[in-house]
Amino acid sequence: MKNEYLKTEFFFFENFEKLKRMVKESDECNSKTHKENTHLSGVLQANEKLINQQLDEIANIKLQFQEADIENERINMKLNNSSYDSFVLQHIVPKPIGKNKAGEDFYSDGTGVGYHNVPPPM
């Protein structure tokens, strides 16, 4: 009977040791998994922050592009208006027909540069 008792005790001791080893291995595995999860969570947050910064940069670039497009349209409208103004001015202001001896432009009315009609300063 004592022999059976020792066999049973040894059997329980072996199983207890196996169970203890399994719990220890499981705890180590859980610890590693927790560390990996913590690390990956930090990496994920850093990536999310980087992505959000890049999205903000893209939005700013789009806004700058739209502003440049509006400015371009405004300049084109001014150019169209100035070409009309230039057409009108070309018909109002006389065009030079040549150059005189001093190298100044000579107009059809014979006045030269056009400063001769201005009264002298006071």
Domain residue spans in the chain?
2-86
- Higher confidence at residue 31 or residue 88? 31
Phi, psi of 99 (to 5 degrees): -125, 145
Confidence of residue 106 (pLDDT cuts 50, 70, 90): low
Whether pTM exceeds 0.85: no
| Residue 115 scores a pLDDT above 90 | no
Rounded Cα–Cα distance for residues 115 and 117 (Å): 6
pLDDT 10s digits, 51-86: 999 999 999 999 999 999 999 999 888 887 777 776
| Residue 108 scores a pLDDT above 60 | no
Give the model's pLDDT for residue 94: 63
pLDDT 10s digits, 19-37: 999 999 999 999 999 999 9
Residue with tokens 């084109």: 76
Quick check: helix, strand or coil at residue 121? coil
Give the model's pLDDT for residue 71: 94
